[in-house]
Structure 1
Amino acid sequence: MARVSQEHLDARRRQILDGAALCFARNGFHATSMQDVLKEVDLSAGAVYRYFAGKEELIAAIVAETIDIVGEIYDQAARQSPPPLPHVVIPAIMARMREVRPGTLDGGEWMFPRLMLQVWTETLRNPELAAVLRPGFDRIRTAWVKLVQRYKDAGLIAADADADAMARALIAMVQGFGTQMAMFGDVTEQTLGEGLRAVISMRDPGSESE
């Protein structure tokens, strides 16, 4: 019997994950069955179950992969000197996700924002998925804290700025923007970048010396 190459195994796993992601984005977690996934990827049950035991493992793998990609982008940004500002970093993350998950729904809209909204909703009732998502959130938050510290070191923000609070606020911007994309679909990464650039250019008149 011919031995299956690792390249073939990786490609098959990628095929299953991409197909499942489209199904979840299109119809939601609960309305999607494993039969829907099998049909989407055009594989037998045995071929799919060789990699994933069920929907929970599929969604957990998708979440873990996404967190790894996003976390690495933040880590790379923190290593740059000077570090790129949020209005550069965040749109770059969205652009990278378009490269990794370019799938579109039947109406032509990008499926990734809807997928993430489905995941966040599912964590409210699924403690196992919440347990997967929490360490990922902590990793991204920690990466942002490091990046904020680099902003401090470069003199770009006040030395007494609360790094954790700023990290959470920036994450919330990404989450909110993703929700807008999922629900309305008429915004782009460029819109987010321009909005963030305008926000960080604001000056507090009360802090200026007379």
Structure 2
Amino acid sequence: MNNSEPPKSKRMKQKDDSRRLLIEAAVRCFSRNGFHKTGIVEIAKEAGMSAGNLYRHFPSKDAFIIALVEEEQRHALSKMEFKETEKDPLGQILTIITSCVSNPVYPMDQRLWIEILAEASRNKGVRHVFNQSDIIMRESFKNLLTSAIHEKQVDPDYDVETLSLWLYALIDGLIARTATDEQFSFDHHMSQFNQLIRQALKPKEFQ
């Protein structure tokens, strides 16, 4: 019996491996020089590939940013679904916030996420993908917030749409603080942050 992997699957794996290699090379270049000072040829050289081979996977620099946004989205959504049945949905939200701030999905770091935010503010195509991802992510947050209201962790008078916006604004701000302030350690302040959020959101009857 032939247990070898089908040729098509091997080709797909090679394609995925090449794509991953290019993303990691782009991340190193973007982090080192910034998005606009990095050229396609530089990324290809960093990855040990020809520019022609790179274009088969990524037709433009924007495509790298879009791929990173989508990967961050997949990574975060997998965390949101992992503990769906737990009785502490607010705790799950806080865990997700901590993870997003402290450990952006490999191979990104906080500085590169700020670079992506800046590019989304200038580039219509990147902004569209970023906003679409934001809508999907906040929808999951809204589901968790609804569960938190059911578990009497969040005041039912709060609007979950507005809360999801504020929570995501907090994530962006904390990532920016982590990226720019060497003295700031979110892990160090995390317990007090969690306490503040729980206190701010809990039902009035328990305040």
- Class of the TM-score when normalised by the shorter of the 2 chains: 0.7 to 0.9
On the 8 A contact 1:16/1:41 being kept in 2, the answer is yes
Partner of residue 119, structure 1: 116
Give unmatched runs, 5+ long, in structure 1.
Answer: 103-110
Structure possessing the higher relative contact order (Cα contacts under 8 Å, 6 or more residues apart): 1
Query: What pairs with 1:7-18 in structure 2 (closer than 5 Å)?
Result: 7-18=13-24
**Aligned counterpart for 2:176 among listed residues 167, 179, 182:** 179
In structure 2, do the counterparts of structure 1 residues 132 and 9 end up closer, same or farther at CA, with 3 Å as the change threshold?
Answer: same
**1:154-175 deviation per Cα after TM superposition (whole angstroms, max 9, x unaligned):** 1112222221122111111111
CA distance in 2 between partners of 1:203 and 1:6 (Å) = 48
Structure 1 vs Structure 2: percent identity of aligned residues? 23
In structure 2, do the counterparts of structure 1 residues 124 and 67 end up closer, same or farther at CA, with 3 Å as the change threshold?
Answer: same
Superposition deviation, residue 208 in structure 1: 7.4
Structure 2 counterpart SS, 1:5: helix
Superposition deviation, residue 90 in structure 1: 1.6
On the 8 A contact 2:90/2:153 being kept in 1, the answer is no
Superposition deviation, residue 136 in structure 1: 0.4
On the 8 A contact 2:178/2:186 being kept in 1, the answer is no
Quote the RMSD (CA, aligned, Å): 2.5
The alignment's TM-score, normalised by the length of structure 2, stands at 0.83
Greater helix proportion? 2
Q: Give the aligned length.
A: 196
**Aligned counterpart for 2:152 among listed residues 152, 155, 169:** 155
In structure 2, do the counterparts of structure 1 residues 186 and 48 end up closer, same or farther at CA, with 3 Å as the change threshold?
Answer: farther
On the 8 A contact 1:19/1:37 being kept in 2, the answer is yes
**Aligned counterpart for 1:101 among listed residues 106, 131, 136:** 106
**Aligned counterpart for 1:87 among listed residues 77, 88, 94:** 94
The alignment's TM-score, normalised by the length of structure 1, stands at 0.81
